[in-house]
Chains A and B, each alone.
Chain A
Amino acid sequence: MNPAADRAARLLRWYPAAWRARYGEEFTELLIADISEQPRSAARTRDVVRGAIVARLAEAGLAGPPVRATAAAPDAGGLQIRASLVSLGCAAAVFGGFGAALWSQLTIGWQWSASASTTATVATVVTSATMLAFLALAVVAALPVLCAIAVTIARQRRKRHVVPAIVLIAATTVLFAGGRHFGNGWPGTGGHRGLVPAGLAAFEWATSLSVNAYWVHPRALAAFPGPELAWMAVSPLALACAVIAAATLVRRTELPPRLLAFEARLATAACAAMAVFLAGCSCWVATGGQRSVFHAGLIDVAGVAIMALALAVARQAACTARLRLGFAGH
């Protein structure tokens, strides 16, 4: 391989696989010609890297124009909308994971003592209401999609659907069983000021047990019982497996346009709930909580930052999905 072809091949690797499959050959030819004329060009490298990032964002449903369906790709528009919804789902899962960890601290505090701080009280009420709304929206969004996937599996029985479905069921079972089991050790148990059902709060606490500051304090972490340590390692892995499997299934299943439009509307509502939840958390963290059971630490600051990022991604995905739905006339 000549040096120009070698350099063109290296630049091409920045682009996602689907883009390379479509434009790779012709783009490489153009790059080789360009490199032959201008052997060294930092501007060209920057231009290619920026283009590749845009292509990757477009593939993830976070940027780019709506795609017109063609005879060769009749579901191109639907695929793009599903990509946006998948990105939104992944961002919502990250938001939900960190949100649950933060919210469970507030509910524990509420179980044991009435807050003397108005901020903590408002934050607890706001986060509890929006977390419940967020969970309800997640259930309403997931049910019709799961039904459509189940119908597809029943009709087609293809490995590309069955394998991620099995992973999703297994990972969800692990999360649910573990959450129920370790929820029995919830620090709120025995308190008597429950704002939300204690079982739900305990489940949220257990499933988000891995989000804690003990990871940077190995000696304190080692003091945890073995099964809880194992759960702290297994639960995020199970959540990641469940999210990846669900994302794979949605990407591979053709969903009716009306269902996509319904999901996009729910996405907008979910983003609003996430924003209110984040505002509640931010108020609590910004005031530092109290030096009591409502105390907010560095892990909570990091959690709020990650949730803000996840919300930005979710909002971008929802906007892109709406843009594409509008274009498709759904």
Chain B
Amino acid sequence: MPHEKTASTGEQGDGGQSLAGFGRYAGPATLILSSLADGTKHGYALTKDIESFAGVRISPGTLYEALARLESQGMIAAVESDDRRRPYRLTAAGAAALRAHLDAQRRVADVGLRRLAGNWGTA
């Protein structure tokens, strides 16, 4: 329950945050946020999870560029850990941004699929 977590950690559910300003990092950022929506993960676990559900292997440099951007925007937060591999969790602002981004993508997908079906038939 993200909103309960927000209340307990004092995070602001910032609905104004979006992935629009991420430019070329919007893709990796969406994949990372989608992966973290399932629970906390460290860098290696993130690459493996993303590879399993998206079939994309994010290189270490790109992954940490995106992680640094997401963290600086308050969309994810590092979790205290004794392990050298620090885990990250999704914040309320990150959840809101991911939801808005995926909703927009779904609208595009719906339109595309509808037009394909109308003009090209179903596969």
> Chain A residues in contact with chain B, CB under 8 A?
19, 23, 25-31, 33-34, 43-44, 47-52, 54-55, 64-68, 70, 76
Identity of the chain A residue whose Cβ is nearest the Cβ of B46 in the assembled complex: A30
Do residues B85 and A51 form an inter-chain contact, with CB atoms below 8 A? no
B26 to chain A, nearest CB (A): 12
Given contacts A43-B59, A51-B61, contact A30 B47 (CB under 8 A): yes
From 59 to 109 in chain B, residues with beta carbon under 8 angstroms from any chain A beta carbon are: 59-65, 67-69, 72-74, 84-86
A44 to B47, CA, bound (A): 14
Q: How many residues of B contact A (CB 8 A)?
A: 22
Q: A26-B42, A26-B84, A27-B43 are in contact. Are A51 and B64 (CB under 8 A)?
A: yes
The reply to whether B59 and A65 contact each other, CB–CB distance below 8 Å, is no
A51 pairs with B62, CB closer than 8 A: yes
Determine the chain A residues whose CB is within 8 A of the CB of B65 once the complex forms.
51, 54-55
* Cβ contact within 8 Å between A47 and B61: yes
- CB-based contact B60/A44 at 8 Å: yes
**Which of B64, B69, B85 sits near A64, CB closer than 8 Å?**
B69
Q: Enumerate 16 A-B pairs (CB-CB under 8 Å) in ascending A order.
A: A23-B67, A26-B42, A26-B43, A27-B64, A28-B84, A29-B44, A30-B64, A33-B44, A34-B59, A47-B61, A51-B65, A65-B21, A66-B72, A67-B72, A68-B72, A76-B72
In the bound complex, residues from chain A placing their C-beta under 8 Å from that of B44 are 29-30, 33
With both chains docked as a complex, state the minimum distance between the C-beta of B22 and any C-beta of chain A, in angstroms: 8
18 further interface pairs, Cβ-Cβ under 8 Å (given A48-B61, A65-B73): A23-B67, A23-B68, A25-B86, A27-B43, A29-B85, A30-B43, A30-B47, A30-B63, A31-B60, A34-B59, A44-B61, A47-B60, A47-B62, A50-B61, A51-B61, A51-B64, A68-B72, A68-B74
Question: In the complex, which residue of chain B has the Cβ closest to the Cβ of A43?
Answer: B59
CB <8 Å contact, B64 and A65: no
Give Cα A43 to B74, complex, Å.
Answer: 30
Which residues of the other chain, A, contact B73 by a CB distance below 8 angstroms? 65, 68
- Identify the 5 closest CB pairs spanning chains A and B, nearest first: A51-B61, A47-B61, A47-B59, A30-B43, A48-B61
List residues of chain B with CB within 8 A of the CB of A48.
59-61
Alpha-carbon gap, A105 to B65, bound state (A): 47
Shortest Cβ gap from B80 to chain A (Å) = 11
* Inter-chain contact A23/B69, CB cutoff 8 Å: no
Q: Scoring B residues 36 to 67 as 1 if CB is less than 8 Å from chain A, else 0, what string do you get?
A: 00000011100100000000000111111101
For residue A47, which residues in chain B have a CB less than 8 angstroms away from its CB?
Answer: 59-62
Interface flags, B16-48, vs A, CB<8A=1, else 0:
000001100000000000000000001110010
